[in-house]
């Protein structure tokens, strides 16, 4: 996961992070085109009439100068967890290839494979992304296991990252998590 495009809204005077990290909104208050502004302009919004406010990149060296409340840290941890879950869902939906067949890994396909795997059929015509393929019962079991192993790996990765997130004590710690 790439957090390079994420920022936090800060109170410059109190040196405090006051919102969760996020991608810059296209428009914010009276400012249009926020993502097109330089970090220098974003870090102090006095020029736009927002005294004491700024957007700081998560990877700015200045981020370490800002404190955050326990509640805000928890909000940011949960935000990162949501992003990690979103990434896991996207990854687990990437089709697999098996003997030239591109096979979806969605729940409907998994249920179908599960039912076929537990049937007595020895040959099965199965609709794949790139057409129909005939599989033996053993091949269906192999495909089912490939998909289940893939999905289990993504859940294991998600759990590992969640544990790292829970250990974080600051926004800087959150940026150091290798996803």
pLDDT of residue 3: 82
Are 25 and 54 found together in one domain? yes
Mean pLDDT, rounded, of the chain: 94
State the Cα–Cα distance between residues 143 and 97, nearest whole angstrom: 9
Of the CA atoms within 13 Å of residue 92, those in its CB half-sphere come to: 22
pLDDT band of residue 20 (cuts 50, 70, 90) is: very high
pLDDT of residue 169: 95
Are 75 and 47 found together in one domain? no
Are 74 and 134 found together in one domain? yes
pLDDT of residue 126: 96
Of 50, 67, 84, the position where a domain reaches its end is 67
Are 113 and 178 found together in one domain? yes
Are 167 and 179 found together in one domain? yes
State the Cα–Cα distance between residues 167 and 37, nearest whole angstrom: 33
Are 23 and 75 found together in one domain? no
Q: Three-state SS across the chain?
A: CCCCCEEEEEECCCCEECCCCEECCCEECCEECHHHCCHHHHHCHHHHCCCCEEEEECCCHHHHHCECCHHHHHHHHHHHHHHHHHHHHHHHCCCEEECCEEECCCHHHHHHHHHHHCCCCCEEEEEECCEEEEEEHHHHHHHHHHHHHHHHHHHHHHHHHHHHHHHCCCHHHHHCCCC
Are 86 and 166 found together in one domain? yes
Are 62 and 72 found together in one domain? no
Mean pLDDT of 56-78: 94
How many structural domains comprise the chain?
2
pLDDT of residue 129: 97
pTM recorded for the entire structure: 0.83
| pLDDT per position as a tens digit, 91-136 | 999 999 999 999 999 999 999 999 999 998 999 999 999 999 999 9
Range of the domain at 39: 1-67
Are 53 and 102 found together in one domain? no
Are 179 and 133 found together in one domain? yes
Percent of the chain with pLDDT over 70: 99
């Amino acid at each position: 996961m790439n957090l390079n495009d994420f920022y936090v809204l800060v109170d410059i005077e109190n040196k405090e992070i006051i919102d969760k990290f996020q991608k810059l909104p296209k428009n914010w208050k009276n400012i249009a085109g926020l993502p097109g502004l330089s970090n220098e302009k974003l870090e102090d919004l006095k020029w736009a009439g927002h005294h004491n406010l700024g957007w700081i990149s998560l990877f700015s060296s200045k981020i370490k100068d800002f404190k955050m409340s326990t509640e805000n840290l928890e909000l940011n941890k949960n935000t990162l967890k949501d992003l990690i879950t979103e990434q896991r869902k996207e990854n687990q939906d990437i089709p697999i290839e098996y003997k030239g067949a591109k096979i979806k890994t969605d729940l409907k396909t998994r249920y179908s494979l599960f039912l076929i795997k537990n049937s007595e059929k020895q040959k099965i015509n199965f609709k794949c992304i790139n057409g129909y393929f005939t599989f033996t019962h053993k091949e269906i079991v192999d495909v089912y296991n490939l998909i289940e192993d893939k999905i289990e790996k993504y859940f294991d990765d998600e759990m590992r990252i969640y544990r790292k997130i829970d250990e974080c004590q600051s926004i800087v710690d959150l940026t150091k998590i290798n996803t």
